[in-house]
Structure 1
Amino acid sequence: MKASLDHLPPARQAELARIQEVILEELETCIKADVKARAKRYRLLKLVLFGSFAKGTWFEDSRSGRASDVDLLAIVSHEALTEMSAFWGEVEDRLYSDPLVKRDVSIIVHTLQDVNRQLKDGQYFFSEIIQQGILLFEDTEPDKNGNPKNLIAKLAPPDPQRSAMLAK
């Protein structure tokens, strides 16, 4: 996974920084408001930009007002965070109304465990995100022994049976 936004104009880089800031603020507020002790362990582990902005193929047409949206994969620590569709909808609504964010933002949310399972299964969608995506944020807190945790699995080769089935 890449980590550089150098291919994007400074205004787009600033916009992505604002998007990341809003997501982290909203998640922190949500976690603090949750009275359950386990919610305090909920974390955004990684935020990955994918799609046209990651690939450098985005478009903006000032005459029609059409523009590429920003596609993000939020990799989270707990399944409960993936099931909070109202919360993630509110995050997208806040981004939509933020004057510093000039385009629509689409966020998909998966646990690290699920992403790693999909990668080990050779699932094309997640493999493409990991190969072409850009890491915007990463929780770098080490494990108890000081080793990196929250690692992305190695990409598995595509499953030929699955590829043949998808080609039909």
Structure 2
Amino acid sequence: MSAAPSLGAALPALALLAIVALRLGVSRRSESNFRRLTLAMGAVGITSTVLAVLAPGFSLTASFGPMASIPVAGAVVSFSMFGGSLVSARLRKHGFMLKWPTVKTMVKRTLAGILMGLGALLIPGGNDTLLLIGLPAAAWQAALAYVLFVATLAALIVKLGSIAKAWS
């Protein structure tokens, strides 16, 4: 960006505010969960823009780097994430139940993981760099990657349908 940092970040921040306002206007008669999600994602976008201005070298994933040098950190983080998901499942209405996946499920999930990995290779820096740095910096490459990502997902949902359930 050739503009001064304050002006360069102000335009994407205003664009984010306009998108949040538009989504809130569209969701006025929708369920409250959609409005909460809109506000939460708007706050994430605006906060990342402010972070990009105030601390240009900040990266969420880079903050975890020093932790990786501690020998037991990986095991502790993995155990904590697994334990947190168990507690979260237990606190929800459906509880928690382990079951072995079918071969079909394993093949589908493996292929989905491969596709996700290929997608990550096509977006330099991954999703965090795309959403938290590329879009607020108004990089056309980030906008193009995001538009292609959304268009691909929309085409897949139209073609294959969606099994997503609404939040309750």
Shorter-chain TM-score range:
under 0.3
Q: TM-score, normalised by structure 2?
A: 0.26
TM-score (norm 1): 0.26
Q: Which has the higher helix share?
A: 2
User: Which structure has the greater CA radius of gyration?
Assistant: 2
